[in-house]
């Protein structure tokens, strides 16, 4: 019925030869599922969503809660929540400046991502959809591990609603 496959992979000689081919290409990624999940760059992108996601991710990377960031950046908590959660928010210049300092991101760049500096013609959707649901690789506490497993259960059991084949 099914053939037994070669379990040891290709020869080293072939690997070395093909590795140069692999290297000559910037990427070997395929895009079928990414396309279905709408992760490829669309023709129009929304600057505010990129900004919000970047702030969220940078914050979590630094291990900060929203409250901690608000304190650190001397910004209203509600404003950070707005920025991270709501796509329509247009941040104020001071806010962006303060966030850049607190999140250790170059101010000019963050201004640009926020759409406050001269915007580039295309902002990559790569940045926009940076979903970063996960935390950094700090050790998980028992509770965090439980929470992750609960989350996985929900993910697997409840809705595939967001996933199109």
Partner 1 sequence: MSSFDISIQARASGDFHEATILEGLAPMDLLVVEREWSPERSNLMQELLAAGVDRRKWPQSLHWDWSKKAPALRLLESSGFGLVCEKKWQGVMMTRTVSYSARLKADRGKPIVYLDFLEVAPWNWVIQDIHRSGLFRTIGLQLFWRAVQQSLDEGFKGRVGLHSLPRAEDFYRKCGMVEVGHDAAKQDLVYFELTQEGAEKFLADGGYK
Partner 2 sequence: MAAKKTMTLNLTDAEMLALDELSEKKDLSKTAVIRQALRLYQMVNIRIERGDKLFFEDEAKKEKAEVVVL
- For partner 2, the binding residues in 77-106 under the rule CB under 8 A are none
Least distance from partner 1 to the Cβ atom of residue 164, Å: 10
Check residue 114 for interaction with partner 1 (CB under 8 A): no
Least distance from partner 2 to the Cβ atom of residue 155, Å: 14
| Number of other CB atoms surrounding residue 152 within 10 Å | 10
Contact 150, 23 (CB under 8 A): no
Pattern of binders to partner 1 over 90-109, x per CB under 8 A?
A: --------------xxx--x
Angle at 25 between CA 23 and CA 26, to 5 degrees: 100
Check residue 2 for interaction with partner 2 (CB under 8 A): yes
Contacts with partner 1: how many residues (CB under 8 A)? 74
Residues 100-159, interacting with partner 2 (CB under 8 A): 159
Supply the DSSP symbol for 3.
P
Q: Which of 2, 118, 141, 143 binds partner 1 (CB under 8 A)?
A: 2
- Residue 37 to residue 48: CA distance in whole angstroms: 20
Least distance from partner 2 to the Cβ atom of residue 157, Å: 12
Residues 44-73, interacting with partner 1 (CB under 8 A): 54, 57-58, 61
Alpha-carbon distance values, 128 to 41, 49, 131 (Å): 9, 6, 8
- Residue 72 to residue 90: CA distance in whole angstroms: 21
- Residue 118 to residue 116: CA distance in whole angstroms: 7
Check residue 137 for interaction with partner 1 (CB under 8 A): yes
């Amino acid at each position: 019925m099914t053939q037994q496959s070669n379990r040891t992979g290709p020869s080293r000689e072939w690997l070395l030869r093909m590795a140069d081919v692999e290297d000559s290409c910037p990427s070997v990624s395929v895009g079928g599922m990414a396309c279905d999940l709408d992760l490829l760059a669309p023709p129009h992108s929304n600057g505010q969503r990129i900004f919000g996601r970047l702030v969220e991710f940078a914050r979590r990377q630094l291990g900060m809660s929203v409250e901690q960031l608000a304190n650190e950046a001397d910004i209203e908590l509600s404003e950070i929540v707005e920025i991270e959660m709501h796509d329509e928010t247009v941040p104020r210049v001071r806010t962006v400046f303060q966030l850049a300092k607190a999140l250790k991101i170059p101010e000019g760049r963050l201004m640009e991502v926020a759409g406050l500096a001269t915007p580039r013609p295309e902002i990559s959707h790569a940045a926009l959809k940076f979903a970063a649901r996960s935390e950094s690789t700090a050790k998980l506490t028992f509770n965090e591990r439980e929470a992750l497993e609960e989350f996985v259960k929900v993910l697997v059991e409840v809705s595939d609603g967001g996933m199109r084949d």
